[in-house]
């Protein structure tokens, strides 16, 4: 069996070569000399101001182990989103070269906390059958280390992955994120890609369509795009297309003259006038009446409109961002949305994934939203004590499929925290908050009206997709494990094929 040590090169290791400070030989050399006989040492580094050739030569003089120093590129040594895939890439390349008969040791002493936790995550999850963890110090030498914490609640067992090359290069050339984009918590590849797309689109003055289920953060993205756009000096104007009564929406958008209708006591600017020189955001554009869609099309094509009750044409310069949770192409087929309007709006498209597909993000969101909830409830009730969440309760949240997405998660945490008497939110409280309304949904799907647009196949597929999403989420994106959870692994060996066909 081949044995390999994996570690990030840190300052104490480099100091050992120059005999600076009371560090002895440094943690990496100490493990190679004192712990075991290794065939290989895979040493990663990302940003150093010294010659690594000198360190490698010094290390080779101390041991017979084959030393492999790998440059993983230049990035901040606390950036978990880059450290994690860099470590996976190094380990997988080694396994690809040497097969499965390998014993790996992940060294947790050298490196930043982000580098250390990466080895812990990988050692306890992805490579738990092949790797052990060690730590070292001048006082106690090299020892194996275990972590009694239930890491299954927090881990990301699949690689975050790498963006398409072009998109990654565009991201690296962008300026620092605005506060609005920084507030979009993400650890998953799919969300990082959409944030990068949105930041690139923000630089250019074309219209944008944001597509996603209810509660996925479409308005949050619209505000973030505006914040990094050339129009950010003016206020973003928001219009909820489905919340305004049909008889008032035209007046809301274009304004009106005094006496235009019974209650028009004085003239009023509409949303487009208020947004002149800025950005206007239409939430749920699919709910806009057809007669108003025609007038919106005129604004886009000509940059002009008329107030209600006026024949005077006004010029306007706006950028339009729209959001929808509907399939606009299907709405066009049903005669509910204008095809020409869709193509006029389609400058750029952002597709926000549902929460159940954002593997690695839910734990981050739980922590952030619980902190936000604690602040909110404390303001409402000075006697409120901030809550933490138990391991079992967090696991309950992580295993749920979240049809209502981030908004549903926020409301579940709000209810759970407010109904918890002590300081710790327990699993039973979370379970009740999640599932109290689900029986009605089950009843509805079993008692739908047949005939008309009813489709038995669509209804069955809806149930299938519900359980497929739950299995995929519970398996943390590992398709083979998701297939096993569905009860017949042999039947679902082609998981990719039937899952993607059903869910697209």
**Which class in CATH covers the domain with range 361-436?**
mainly alpha
pLDDT at 277 over 90: yes
Task: Supply the DSSP symbol for 313.
Answer: E
pLDDT of residue 491: 52
Do the beta carbons of residue 269 and residue 255 sit within 8 Å? yes
Measured in residues, the chain has a length of 504
Region 453-480 average pLDDT: 73
Q: What confidence tens digit (pLDDT) does each residue in 386-405 have?
A: 999 999 999 889 888 888 89
Region 463-483 average pLDDT: 71
Model confidence at 383, in pLDDT bands (50, 70, 90)? very high
More confident residue, 454 or 368: 368
More confident residue, 374 or 472: 374
Angle (CA) 19 21 27, round 5°: 80
Q: What is the C-alpha separation between 229 and 237, in angstroms, rounded?
A: 14
The region of weakest confidence among 9-13, 70-74, 78-82, 401-405 is: 78-82
Model confidence at 48, in pLDDT bands (50, 70, 90)? low
pLDDT of residue 502: 45
Task: Domain 2-148: give its CATH code.
Answer: 3.40.50.10770
More confident residue, 493 or 349: 349
Do the beta carbons of residue 404 and residue 356 sit within 8 Å? no
Q: What confidence tens digit (pLDDT) does each residue in 200-229 have?
A: 999 888 999 999 999 999 999 999 999 999
pLDDT of residue 465: 74
pLDDT at 80 over 80: no
The pTM for the full model equals 0.58
pLDDT of residue 153: 41
Model confidence at 412, in pLDDT bands (50, 70, 90)? very high
Task: Supply the DSSP symbol for 471.
Answer: H
Do the beta carbons of residue 170 and residue 200 sit within 8 Å? yes
pLDDT at 425 over 70: yes
Region 379-390 average pLDDT: 94
pLDDT at 283 over 90: yes
Report helix, strand and coil shares of the chain as percent, to nearest 5. 45, 15, 40
Q: Is 97 exposed, middle or buried (0-12, 13-18, 19+ CB in 10 A)?
A: exposed
Task: Domain 165-354: give its CATH code.
Answer: 3.40.50.300
Model confidence at 45, in pLDDT bands (50, 70, 90)? confident
The strand pair at 40-45 and 2-8 is best described as: parallel
Q: What is the mean pLDDT of the chain?
A: 82
Q: What is the C-alpha separation between 315 and 297, in angstroms, rounded?
A: 14
Order the strands of the 131-137 sheet from edge to edge. 66-71, 40-45, 2-8, 102-107, 131-137, 141-144
Region 241-251 average pLDDT: 80
The region of weakest confidence among 24-38, 49-63, 279-293, 463-477 is: 463-477
The region of weakest confidence among 15-19, 143-147, 178-182, 499-503 is: 499-503
Q: What is the C-alpha separation between 476 and 357, in angstroms, rounded?
A: 9
pLDDT at 159 over 50: no
The region of weakest confidence among 91-100, 165-174, 286-295, 387-396 is: 165-174
């Amino acid at each position: 069996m081949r044995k390999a040590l994996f570690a990030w090169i840190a300052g104490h290791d480099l100091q050992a070569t120059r005999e600076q400070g009371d560090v002895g030989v440094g943690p990496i050399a100490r493990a190679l000399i004192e712990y075991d006989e290794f065939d290989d040492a895979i040493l990663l580094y990302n940003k150093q101001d010294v010659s690594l050739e000198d360190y490698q030569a010094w290390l080779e003089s101390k041991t017979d182990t084959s030393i492999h120093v790998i440059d993983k590129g230049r990035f901040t040594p606390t950036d978990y989103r880059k450290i994690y895939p860099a470590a996976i890439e190094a380990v997988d390349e080694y396994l690809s070269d040497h097969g499965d008969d390998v014993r790996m040791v992940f060294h947790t002493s050298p490196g930043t906390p982000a580098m250390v936790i990466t080895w812990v995550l990988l050692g306890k999850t992805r490579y738990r059958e092949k790797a052990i963890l060690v730590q070292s110090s001048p006082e106690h030498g090299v020892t194996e280390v275990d972590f009694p914490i239930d890491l299954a609640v927090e881990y990301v067992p699949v690689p975050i992955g790498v963006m398409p090359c072009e998109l990654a290069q565009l991201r690296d050339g962008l300026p620092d994120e605005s506060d609005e984009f920084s507030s979009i918590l993400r650890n998953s590849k799919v969300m990082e890609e959409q944030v990068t797309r949105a930041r690139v689109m923000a630089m250019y003055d074309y219209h944008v369509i944001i597509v996603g289920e209810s509660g996925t953060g479409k308005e949050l993205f619209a505000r973030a795009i505006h914040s990094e756009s050339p129009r950010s000096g003016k206020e973003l104007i928001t219009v909820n297309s489905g919340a305004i009564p049909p008889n008032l929406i035209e007046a809301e958008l274009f304004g009106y003259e005094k006496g235009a209708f019974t209650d028009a006591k004085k003239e009023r600017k509409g949303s487009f006038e208020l947004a002149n020189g800025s950005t206007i955001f239409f939430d749920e554009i699919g709910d806009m009446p057809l007669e108003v869609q025609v007038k919106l099309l005129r604004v886009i094509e000509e940059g002009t409109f008329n107030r209600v009750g006026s024949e005077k044409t006004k010029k306007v310069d706006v950028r339009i961002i729209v959001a929808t949770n509907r399939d606009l192409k299907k709405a066009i087929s049903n005669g509910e949305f204008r095809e020409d309007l869709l193509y006029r709006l389609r400058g750029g498209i952002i597709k926000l994934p549902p929460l159940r597909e954002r593997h690695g993000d839910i734990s981050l969101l739980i922590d952030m939203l619980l902190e936000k909830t604690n602040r909110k409830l404390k303001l409402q009730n000075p006697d409120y004590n901030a809550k933490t969440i138990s391991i079992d309760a967090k696991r309950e949240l992580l295993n749920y499929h979240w049809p209502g997405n981030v908004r549903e998660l926020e409301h579940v945490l709000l209810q759970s925290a407010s109904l918890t008497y002590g300081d710790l939110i327990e699993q039973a409280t979370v379970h009740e908050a999640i599932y109290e309304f689900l029986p009605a949904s089950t009843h509805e799907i079993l008692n739908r009206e047949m005939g008309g647009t009813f489709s038995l196949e669509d209804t069955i597929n809806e149930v299938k997709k519900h359980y497929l999403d739950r299995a995929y989420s519970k398996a943390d994106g590992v398709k083979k494990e998701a297939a096993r959870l569905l009860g017949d692994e042999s039947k679902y060996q082609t998981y990719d094929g039937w899952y993607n066909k059903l869910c697209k």
